[in-house]
Amino acid sequence: MNITINGQPKQFKAPLTVSALLDALQLDGDRVAVELNCNVLLKEQFDATSLQNGDALEIVQFVGGG
């Protein structure tokens, strides 16, 4: 399955949910915001949202500091 993440094409095995994708990318679902095909997803939707070939995601990771 081909999907685009932050403008970069990537390949993954299907089926794949947003949660599984974040795990594969070693990202903490509590520390990211995800936009799928121009729609912002709530954290509660990550487990139930299946990705399809050709989907485009923008993933922003929150970083603390100070």
pTM, to two decimals:
0.92
**What tens digit of pLDDT does each residue of 10-57 get?**
999 999 999 999 999 999 999 999 999 999 999 999 999 999 999 999
CB 53 within 8 A of CB 35: no
Q: Which domains does the chain have, with CATH numbers?
A: 2-61 (3.10.20.30)
State yes or no: pLDDT of 65 exceeds 90. Answer: no
The pLDDT of residue 29 is 94
Q: What is the pLDDT of residue 64?
A: 78
List residues bridging with 56 in a β-sheet: 4
Q: What is the 3-state secondary structure (H, E, C) of the chain?
A: CEEEECCEEEECCCCCEHHHHHHHCCCCHHHEEEEECCEEECHHHCCCCECCCCCEEEEEECCCCC
pLDDT over 70 at 66, yes or no: no
